[in-house]
Amino acid sequence: MFDLIVFLVLLTTGYIFGQWLERSHYRSIRKREEDLRSIPVIASKRLPDELCPCHTRMVVGNVVISIDFFKKFLASLRYLIGGRVSSYESLIDRARREAILRMKQQAKLAGANYVFNVKMETSSISKGRRETIGSVEVLAYGTAIIPANN
């Protein structure tokens, strides 16, 4: 009985805080994406000739985001029937966009106008045991192109 009450309390706090944090995070992501739209992020390796002469600099952005209790519970229900685990999808989407934003922020500070050859790397911080922390790290890195007259 006591276990059930603890479980329900965790579930509701997870739901309330998790939803609230996710919504405010998405709001801030959208706002910053709007601000940083002037710096295109490009996955190609080769620089077009018209961008040169320029300086280059490596820029990196990373973020670790944790799942909340409610979503973890939803995902564990999903395992019974299979299919898309949308509660994890939004988590990873948030992490990716945040990492790219942090990378772009660094590029903006350096005075860059493009970021080339962007690579992403995703890793789960802890896996295995049931009681461990479910969180994901995303690292985005690329080469910022700074015009030479700066």
Partner 1 sequence: MLLTTIESVPGKKIVKHLGLVQGSTVRSKHIGRDMMAGLKNIFGGELKGYTELLQESREEAIQRMSLQAESIGANAILNIRFSTSSITQGAAELYTYGTAVELEDNRV
Q: Using CB under 8 A as the criterion, which residues of the chain lie in contact with partner 1 when the complex forms?
A: 10, 13-14, 17-18, 21-22, 25, 45-47, 51-54, 56-58, 60, 62-69, 71-72, 98, 116-119, 121, 123-129, 132-135, 137, 139, 141-143, 145
Nearer to partner 1 by C-beta: 45 or 84?
45
CA distance 68 to 87: 10
Cis omega (within 30 of 0) for bond into 48:
no
Q: Shortest approach of partner 1 to residue 102 CB, angstroms?
A: 9
What SS3 class is residue 112? Answer: coil
Q: How far is the CB of 60 from partner 1 (least distance, A)?
A: 7
Structure tokens at 124: 């789960």
CB 122 within 8 A of CB 132: no
Residue 105 or 137: the one with the smaller Cβ distance to partner 1 is 137
Q: How far is the CB of 113 from partner 1 (least distance, A)?
A: 14
At residue 113, φ and ψ (nearest 5 deg) are -120, -5
